[in-house]
Amino acid sequence: MPVITISKEFASGGLEIAKRLAQKLNYDYLDKDIVKQVADHTKVSQQEVLEFEEEGHINVKAYLSRVIDLDIFKKTSKDDEVREIETTYDERDKIPYSFDTQGWIDSDIYRSMICKVISELGQRPNVMIAGRGGQCILREQSEVINIRIIAAMADRIARLQIENPDLSDAQAQKQIDAMDKKSREYIKFYFKEDWNDPNLYDVIINTSRVSDDKTVEWLAGLCS
């Protein structure tokens, strides 16, 4: 069966649908597992990767990583500092860039690692990849179905208020807009693509028009 990528508007019901679909198809639903693999590759904590991917594409650290050498901010042991002093610039320049990724993450390292991890996962059978630009990374690969779940704003507000009944309509929409903005900027920053571009997806389902049960049923039939 094909690899599945899932992109979902916040509070569209996409998370629940994706998990139900994965269970129905007996797929591995991969979300935090991707974070773990990136952390393993870069030798940083999972929490640091998680925090970076949530904010790294819009904060100063991501911008600076494109214009200056952020190695100056790395935490090193005294032995590492001694070795750094003993190594000339010319010698350091010959060391592959990947050598310096251990224990450090910036926007370039993150993008490289997320592409590596998702590309590798895309070779496995029965996997569903949640977010993180899977639709961009695997778009040219055969046997991949890129799915997007959307919904009307009024229905998204209503879904969010079920979980957070104290939220006003205005507060709920503000939270939805903020989450959507992060997703748009993530895709634009790392992949130079428009998150809303229908050409990135094979299937787009509007849960304001199709029930969650019917959506799971349709997608299961498509992916079987």
Tell me how far apart the 2 most distant CA atoms of the chain are, in Å: 66
Q: What percent of the chain has pLDDT over 70?
A: 78
Question: pLDDT tens, 150-178?
Answer: 999 999 999 999 999 999 999 999 999 99
Helix 212-223 and helix 14-25, axial crossing angle in degrees, nearest 10: 40
| Strands across the sheet containing 127-130 | 28-30, 127-130, 3-8, 144-150, 203-206
Q: Is the pLDDT of residue 16 over 60?
A: yes
Question: pLDDT tens, 74-95?
Answer: 444 444 444 444 444 343 333 3
Give the count of domains, the chain: 1
Q: Using alpha carbons, select from 106, 125, 126, 127 the residue that is nearest to residue 38.
A: 106
Q: Whole-angstrom Cα distance, residue 220 to residue 224?
A: 6
CATH number at 131 reads 3.40.50.300
CB contact at 8 A, 133 and 191: yes
Q: Whole-angstrom Cα distance, residue 91 to residue 53?
A: 32
How is residue 160 written in tokens? 């969010």
pLDDT for res 197:
96
pLDDT for res 157:
97
Domain limits for position 104: 3-223
* Per-position DSSP letters for 194-210, written without gaps between them: -TT-GGG-SEEEETTTS
Strand pairing partners for 4?
A: 128, 145
Q: Whole-angstrom Cα distance, residue 196 to residue 76?
A: 42
Number of helices (H), then strands (E), belonging to the chain: the values are 11, 5
How is residue 153 written in tokens? 């704003």
Q: Which residues of 56-72 are buried (b: 16+ CB within 10 A; e: fewer)?
A: bbeeebbeebeeeebee
Would you call 57 helix, strand, or coil by DSSP?
Answer: coil
pLDDT for res 111:
86
pLDDT for res 82:
44
Q: Whole-angstrom Cα distance, residue 150 to residue 133?
A: 16
CB contact at 8 A, 192 and 136: no
Lowest mean pLDDT among 40-49, 101-110, 129-138, 165-174: 101-110
